[in-house]
Amino acid sequence: MSEKGEELYNKIKDKLVELQSENSAYAQFNEIWKMACAIKYKSYDLRYLYEDTSREFVDEYREHLIKMKKDFVENIDEYVDKCIKRMESTNHFRVYLAKTNQEAQRIFMEELGDNKVIYKSKSLEAKDAGIMDTLKKNNITIKETDLGDVFCQLLEYDYPSFTLGPGIQFTPEEIVAKIKEKYGVEVEPEAEAIVNYFRNTYRKELLKDVKVSLTSANAISAQDGSIVLVENEGNISIITRATEKHIVVAGIQRIVPSVFDALLCAKIQERIINVDGAYISFISSPSNTSDVQGHRVFGMYGAKEVVIILVDDWRMKAVKENLFYKDMLKCIGCKSCDLVCTASRAFGNIYASKYGIGAINIVRDYIHNGIEAAVADGLFLCTGCENCTNWCPTGVDLAEMIRELKRIAVDKDLCPPPLKEYKEKILKDKNPFK
């Protein structure tokens, strides 16, 4: 193994030692995460909420979803063109197709103009495109609105976390202590009291002060150019309406052929992550009215402008050059793969990248930052159980992508020696155990 490989291997080993120490950030996250995903994994049977299990719900539409995503990848140019045309001609969106992440960052800064504050939902796609890093570099104040992300910001948490519940690792005591320290307000260390505190303070700010807001899109319908957003808190509803300018940053893989497909993607995500009572928004135009003698005016009560930054970067290239990670384009971000992952359950935010926990974010890190980054994310913790591939509703072969990353790591001499020895024994001696 190369010196670099050894360094990365030892870093993971060190993190695993830290995991054993009760107060470490890894142990704290893992404590709640392993419970959450074990419960989730066994309780895909959510019959107490619905008439069918999540698995049955997914199975009913899986064939359609796989076919739909395959069709999208095969005809990606056509769908992107169609989608942009619809958005511009029918929906009155201002649309950009950024060829690279850098271009997306530049466009975003231009759209931001003189504004120094941005309110955002999770917006994972913006993180993927490096926009969050650009905002930080330019000293733009980033205001998270998802409560979990608000906690992460408040507690200055910079470890990878579960993107759908980014604050689950904090205890109520930790949260209220920080509120007291930062705002001088005493709040009971209970969930209801904490939520009430933010409802009574932050909600008012959101309804009053937002000039520019940022969201991603859970799906975008090429048929009519609608943006689909799923949420449970209502933060997306507020910041996409009570704003002057709503900027959407999304990779082109978020585009799906039809309105039905977009709704289906939203519902699948809602069911898998069990966001019961969620809001699903279809945004097909900036806020407008024609009530003054049929004269259409934009910017009634909702957003005056809706700006869409579609990001290509690695995506078209992956299709055209048939790159091994082109299956990433089929991902709808439902997180099934995280919830059923053996390595994720055991190692939580050690098996993770800066984009979030789990294998899919390790592939993402490889795409943006190369193989050493993927190895540092714990690539070799994968047991090859193939649960991810087996449970994926859209047919992403994540297990194969991870295997390919391992092969690349071996080629770069970043593979831990015992594993390499197995390989050589199999291929030379035809038995690794002799």
* Contact set with another protein (CB under 8 A): 9, 12, 16, 19, 34, 38, 41-42, 44, 55, 340, 342-343, 345-347, 380-387, 389-390, 403, 406-407, 409-411, 415-416, 418-420, 422-423, 426-427, 430-434
Residue 319: CB atoms within 10 Å: 18
Measured from the CB of residue 82, what is the shortest distance to another protein in angstroms?
A: 34
Measured distance CA(207)–CA(281) in Å, rounded:
18
- Min. distance of Cβ 39 from another protein in angstroms? 9
CB of 421 to another protein, least distance (A): 8
Give the tokens for residue 188: 């009971």
Strand locations in 122-244, DSSP E? Answer: 141-144, 212-215, 219-221, 227-231
Could you give the 3-state DSSP secondary structure of residue 302?
A: coil
Q: Which is nearer to another protein, 160 or 348 (CB)?
A: 348
Considering the complex, state which of residue 301 and residue 433 has its C-beta at the smaller distance from another protein. 433
Minimum CB distance to another protein, residue 66 (Å): 16
Alpha-carbon gap, residue 344 to 346, rounded angstroms? 5
Shortest distance in whole angstroms from residue 11 CB to another protein? 13
Q: Which is nearer to another protein, 41 or 279 (CB)?
A: 41
Minimum distance, C-beta of residue 399 to another protein, in the bound complex (Å): 9
Kind and range of the H or E element at 298? strand 295-298
User: Phi-psi region for residue 370, left (φ > 0), alpha (ψ -120 to 50) or beta?
Assistant: left
- Three-state DSSP class for 221? strand
Nearer to another protein, 106 or 403 (CB): 403
CB of 123 to another protein, least distance (A): 32
* Alpha-carbon dihedral sign for residues 371, 377, 382, 386: negative
Residues 32, 129: Cα–Cα separation, whole Å: 29
Q: Cα 29 from chain centroid? A: 18
Q: Which is nearer to another protein, 184 or 418 (CB)?
A: 418
For another protein, which is the closer residue by CB, 3 or 156? 3
The nearer residue to another protein, 107 or 340, going by C-beta atoms, is 340
**155 vs 115, 123, 152, 240, CA distance in Å?**
25, 20, 5, 26
CB of 133 to another protein, least distance (A): 31
Smallest gap from Cβ 52 to another protein, in A, equals 15
Q: Choose between 260 and 422: whose C-beta lies nearer to another protein.
A: 422
Alpha carbon distance 68, 74 (integer Å): 10
Short-list 152, 155, 180, 183, CA closest to 167: 152
- Whole-number Å distance between alpha carbons of 426 and 434: 10
Nearer to another protein, 308 or 388 (CB): 388
| 170 vs 347, beta carbon nearer another protein | 347
DSSP alpha helix (H) spans, 75-171: 76-89, 101-112, 124-128, 131-137, 147-154
C-alpha 78/C-alpha 256 separation (Å) is 11
Closest separation between CB of residue 215 and another protein, Å? 33
User: What's the helix, strand, coil split of the chain in %, to 5?
Assistant: 55, 15, 30
